[in-house]
Amino acid sequence: MNILQFCHIEKIYGTKDNQVRALHDINLCVKEGEFAAIVGTSGSGKSTLLNLAGGLDTPTKGKIFVKGKEIEALTRKELTIFRRRNIGFVFQNYSLMPVLNVYDNVALPVTFDRGRQVNHKYIEELLRELGIWEKRKKYPGELSGGQQQRVAIARALANKPALLLADEPTGNLDSVTTVEVIGLLKESCRRYSQTILMVTHNEAIAQTCDRIIHIEDGQVMERGLRNQASSYLSEEGGDGAC
Amino acid sequence: MLKLAYQYMRYYKSQTFAIFASIVLTAALLSGIGSLMYSSRINDVENSRMIYGDWHYCVESEAGMEAALAESGTKDDAGFRLEQYAKAKVMGELSAPYQVQFLHVDDAYRKMLWRGITEGREPETADEIAADSYTLVNLGFEGGVGDTLNLGGKNYILTGIVKSKWSSGADEMEIFVGKEFEGKGNGTEKSLLYLKFDEGEKLYKQLEAFQERFRIPGGAAEANDGLTMYLGGERPDSIYHIIKFALTDERGNFTYIILKLQSEYNLAFYAMAAVLILFSLFVIYSVFNISVSKRKAEYAVLQTLGISEGAVGGTLVLELWMLFCAGYPLGCLLGNGVLGLSYQWLRGVFGSKAMGGGKTAASITDRIAVQENGLEGAAQGTALETARAAGFQVSWGVMCAGFVVLFFALAAAGFLTVRAMRRYTLREAMGGDVLFFRGRRKIYSRRGADLANVVVRKFMFLSKKRAMGIILSLSVGGCIFLCTTYMVENLKVHAEMSLKSDDGLGSEYRISVRSDNLEDTIPKSAVEETRAIPGLSEVYASKYILGEVSIEKDQLTWEEYFDEQNKDSYFMEQYGGICVDKGDERYGIKYGIYGYDTGMLEELKDFLLEGEIEEKDLVKGNKIIAVANMDGQGNYDFYGLHPGDAVTFRVPKEKNCPPEVLKFEGRKADYIEKELTIAAIVSRPLAKEDNFLCVNGWENSSIQSLIMTNGQMEENCGIADYSIVNASPEYGADTGKVSAQLLKAVKDVPKAVFRDYAAAIETQKNYLGQQQLFFTGIAVILLVISLFHIMNSMNYSILARRREYGIIRAMGITDAGFGRMILWTGILYGILADVLIFMIYHLALRRVMDYYMLHVVQFLHLTAGIPAGVFAMVMVMNVVIAAAAVMVPAARIAAGDIVREIGG
């Protein structure tokens, strides 16, 4: 089942002479449980694609479906609530709230839903799983980069989203921590049946993903399929028509 | 540096505008208020010049003095510069029925003392005289120029009418005569010189030099206090000595310091200017600081590129100075322009002559339009119509002082800002707002807290300094408003009470007897006639007789005061002094004994200090009401006596008594002596005799009163008729007709004087209205400036975290949810400010205000509080302002693009 679909997406920034075409006729489907890497050079449109997928930005043309819902058709409020419940974000610079401790940072998105109780057992499980339970009362400023990114991942998973969007989650990390974080993402993808769309510059990391989406000059140039899953993905997923 | 500073100003337009606006607003406030206060003072000087004469000192002319002055001219190197001097020669005196002086004066005298001839000509021959209407009326003269007047058994021809003095008393009658006038040769002749020195220099220094030059002993010069009090007429005590006295002498206290500094150094003016300058500095610095913190990263980059810290500081200071140099004059122009245009309307605000209060009572009554019985309006014109107006004066002093202080203070502020940036390393500063937060190890989500609110609250209170600045700004506005309201409410009460008591303007019409003969009274029949006049709503009739209160010597703690008061020779001669040692360890103090009717006793309740005022109890127990003495610091005391204690007094038994009886030096049988219990002590009397039985000489004579009912007056003192009648017209009545009928009713009462205070009351009420509006207006302006600061601070507090708020929005908080969480923080700010206002106001400000109003400006009673509605409004306003201040930037963030906010 496709969790994410881009249909003839165009994204143009600016007007008249200053127009920049960031994405051009993007058609892309991502299946449930898939761990896809988006790679490309700087300015190729990777982050734009991710922002559109997360409903943070709107396409100039085309349609985007997340879990079968056309997100453009949603009102601003509906989109926000939809995003809160179905999409998680992990940013390169962690983007934690410096004034909240680890535990509260993770619980934060859950509290946006009024009347919804925080599942403390689940948060504890997440924190233990990510190896930061002992740090739960620490503030972000007191943690290392790797620890902060774990907190960011835990926060992204707190609402049990169907789709996890990660924008260069290892961009600020050393190689050892990078491996750890990617491992955690994979593990969470497996454990919670989540779909992960990850932007990365790092080819090596991309190679460890289920699928590689290569973007150049705003267009999907090629798709790379990882070893044994390639046949499965070529048949049921990938850059097909929507 | 200059170019860089200019480029910054051009690039950060909104920040530049914020700083510029804060400079313009504060400069307008500072210069406007400064000029207004200065103008009022100048106007007071000019009014005093008009009322008391354009001279500073009067000395007895010694032989050769005039010649020396004529020879050296008015310029002198001896330390004084005489601008003008006038000569007057006392040619003789009459003491009955009034004290009258025969004066021969020169043209300069007429000019300096405003005593020009308004009709006719100067007297020339020995039997020619000129006088003012007031004197002529009091002497019973009903003719005109060319008619004959008999004085002391001799006939004189009236050749001219002299312009009346502004302040006239029964003992100040002057008859102007020619050089040929033949005095009585009874030793009263003397020559006087009226001196006017250069007002640009200290007057007392010039007088000292003058006295030294002509060997005039110290204390021999009579000062024109009404005018010289504004111009440094007396050598002031040094501040060191004032403080030393306050700390070492048992009579000294904090109030003494304040009052002394006020009277000798014009404390209120300088304190106000200092507060305004500090307020301006606070607002400008605060706005500037916020602007700079937004560009911290850029300054760090500049330093990384090799620009020194000093150069960065210089850039900041130059930017600030450029804005200041452009904004300050504009603000001054704005402030002076607006207040200059509205000055005519606002002139009563600071004018001490417009204020109520014991000290100014005389000046107010000086300015009333008096209609003398039988010679309507002849004695005085309406002073207010002709008062010399100095107009709006720009206070260059305040403006320049403000400019210099702020100019250098802002430079210091610029360097302090750079210094504050040292807290961060260049890398941290370049990275933007680096935040390393370490708070309590509390997990809010486990306690069911709304984490979004926690985040916003923590961000808003992250910089305790800024948060305190915002809360303080909110509180300052509210506190100023509450204090202003408190003062204005009490000012209303005070003005009304003062109008009734000190100014004697409780009623529009007043009939009193101008006589020093106890037999002159207003008969009951005349009072009944006035009561029957249609169009009068209230007619209060009071009885009066002079008396002497007997107190033990150790009860008198004001001996020095009475010693000073006893110096008036005429009063001493007429009544034997105010406070007289009776030789049996007791003092006899002159008192006015009054009988009030029911209506006046009812009104007197407003002035109650101790005890109770119930007419029935007064009559039943034959009790009395005493008026307390008030010291210079607003403290009341009636010789240590309280309700329940007895007071002994005596009054002349016979109305047609010899002079020594009025001096209370007669036989015991000449007096009725009573010992009555005090029922109540009040702060002021209502009906009163302005001068002690028509003799001016005791400035507090109208205050020293014992009050009982009119019935008790008859029973205790044998007084059947009345001395004072106060009346007010009904609303909408034809006042002209009513006053004419009142005049008619008392036409045949000898020595009765009718006064119409309607215009004076109206003027006083207008002044009060102006004061209320002005103070409220200033409070609102300060509120607006505070608001400007609040908006700027809050705007920064929220926009500085726009990235974090962007992330929260990306995580899925709705616009409404985001608005709600910001709104709650605004409300929290408002509530915290409310709590702070409540605490500051009740714990400190109210006490300070009470102290100020009771002891410094000496309001009569502080009975008014802040209306609950105003209090509630200020509280609600704070919350609304704070909420509005946060919602503006919140709306900007919500309208912004999430991707851009989070820098994606």
Q: Is B149 a domain residue?
A: yes
Partner-chain residue, chosen from A112, A136, A142, that has the shortest CB–CB distance to B811 = A112
Q: Is B720 a domain residue?
A: yes
Residues B364 and B397 in one domain: no
Q: Do B455 and A89 touch (CB under 8 A)?
A: no
Q: Do A108 and B437 touch (CB under 8 A)?
A: no
Q: Do A47 and B904 touch (CB under 8 A)?
A: yes
Q: Do A97 and B804 touch (CB under 8 A)?
A: yes
What token pair was written down for B157?
Answer: 């021809």
pLDDT for residue B170: 40
Nearest chain A Cα to B456, which residue?
A99
**Interface pTM, i.e. ipTM:** 0.81
Residues B261 and B179 in one domain: no
Which pTM was predicted? 0.69
Last residue of a domain, one of B707, B725, B745: B745
Q: Is B87 a domain residue?
A: yes
Which residues, in sequence order, are CB contacts of B564 under 8 Å at separation 6+? none
Q: Give domain limits for chain A.
A: 33-60+68-228
pLDDT for residue B282: 81
| E strands in B664-748 | 671-682, 705-709, 724-729
pLDDT for residue B350: 55
Last residue of a domain, one of B703, B720, B745: B745
Q: Is B752 a domain residue?
A: no
> Structural domain of residue B811, as residue ranges?
348-370+444-506+757-904
Q: Do B436 and A98 touch (CB under 8 A)?
A: yes
Which residues, in sequence order, are CB contacts of A191 under 8 Å at separation 6+? A129
pLDDT for residue B41: 80
Residues B761 and B697 in one domain: no
pLDDT for residue A62: 92
pLDDT above 70: percentage of residues in chain A: 90
pLDDT for residue B209: 86
Residues B112 and B249 in one domain: no
Q: Do B810 and A56 touch (CB under 8 A)?
A: yes
What token pair was written down for A155?
Answer: 């926060």
Q: What is the CATH number of domain A33-60+68-228?
A: 3.40.50.300
Q: Is B377 a domain residue?
A: no
Q: How far is A227 from chain B (nearest CA, A)?
A: 32
Secondary structure (3-state) at B176: strand
Whether A38 contacts A200, CB under 8 Å: yes
Model pLDDT for residues A140-153, shown as the tens digit of each residue: 888 888 888 889 98
* Low pLDDT (below 50) residues in chain B: 168-171, 352-388, 904
Q: Do A98 and B437 touch (CB under 8 A)?
A: yes
pLDDT for residue A66: 92
Residues B880 and B816 in one domain: yes
Residues B94 and B169 in one domain: yes
Residues from chain A contacting residue B899 (CB–CB below 8 Å): 51, 56-57
Q: Classify residue B126 by burial, with Cβ atoms within 10 Å: 0-12, 13-18, 19+.
A: middle
Q: Is B380 a domain residue?
A: no
Q: Is B375 a domain residue?
A: no
Q: How far apart are the first and last CA of chain B?
A: 35
Q: How far is A100 from chain B (nearest CA, A)?
A: 7
Model pLDDT for residues A131-178, shown as the tens digit of each residue: 889 999 999 888 888 888 889 988 988 888 889 999 888 887 788 888
Average pLDDT over residues A213-232: 64
Partner-chain residue, chosen from A54, A98, A111, that has the shortest CB–CB distance to B451 = A111
Q: Would you tell me how many other CB atoms lie within 10 Å of the CB of residue B254?
A: 12
Q: Do B443 and A81 touch (CB under 8 A)?
A: no
Q: How far is B300 from chain A (nearest CA, A)?
A: 22
HEC profile of B646-687? EEEEEEECCCCCCHHHHCCCCCHHHEEEEEEEEEEEECCCCC
Q: Is the bond preceding B97 in cis, omega lying within 30 degrees of 0?
A: yes
Whether B137 contacts B374, CB under 8 Å: yes
Average pLDDT over residues A20-37: 90
Partner-chain residue, chosen from A97, A101, A167, that has the shortest CB–CB distance to B441 = A101
Q: Do B455 and A109 touch (CB under 8 A)?
A: no
Q: Across chain A, what does the average pLDDT equal?
A: 83
pLDDT for residue B185: 56
Q: Do B812 and A83 touch (CB under 8 A)?
A: yes
Residues B900 and B774 in one domain: yes
Residues B269 and B403 in one domain: yes
Residues B531 and B518 in one domain: yes
pLDDT for residue B814: 86
Domains held by chain B: number: 4
Residue reference for tokens 């504060």: B26
Torsions phi, psi of B703, nearest 5? Answer: -90, -35
Nearest chain B Cα to A124, which residue?
B446
Q: Do B444 and A100 touch (CB under 8 A)?
A: yes
Whether B129 contacts B117, CB under 8 Å: no
Q: How far is CA B362 from the centre of its chain?
A: 14
Identify the DSSP state of A173.
S
Residues B315 and B309: their CA atoms lie apart, in Å, by 10
Q: Residue B406 belongs to what H/E stretch?
A: helix B396-420
Question: Alpha-carbon dihedral of residues A129, A131, A132, A134, nearest 10 degrees?
Answer: 110
Q: Do A108 and B811 touch (CB under 8 A)?
A: yes
Residues B610 and B665 in one domain: yes
pLDDT of A242 over the 50 cut: no
What token pair was written down for B459?
Answer: 């961000």
Query: Which stretches of chain B sit within 8 Å of chain A by CB?
Result: 435-439, 441-446, 450-452, 454-455, 458-459, 462, 803-804, 807-817, 897-899, 902, 904
Nearest chain B Cα to A166, which residue?
B904
Torsions phi, psi of A119, nearest 5? Answer: -85, 90
Longest dimension (CA), chain A: 55
Q: Nearest-CA neighbor of B659 among B740, B570, B562?
A: B570
Mutation for A interface: B456, B463, B807, most A CBs within 10 A: B807
Residues B471 and B534 in one domain: no
Residues from chain A contacting residue B438 (CB–CB below 8 Å): 139, 141-142
Nearest chain B Cα to A86, which residue?
B812
Q: Is B751 a domain residue?
A: no
Q: Do B438 and A142 touch (CB under 8 A)?
A: yes
Last residue of a domain, one of B745, B777, B805: B745
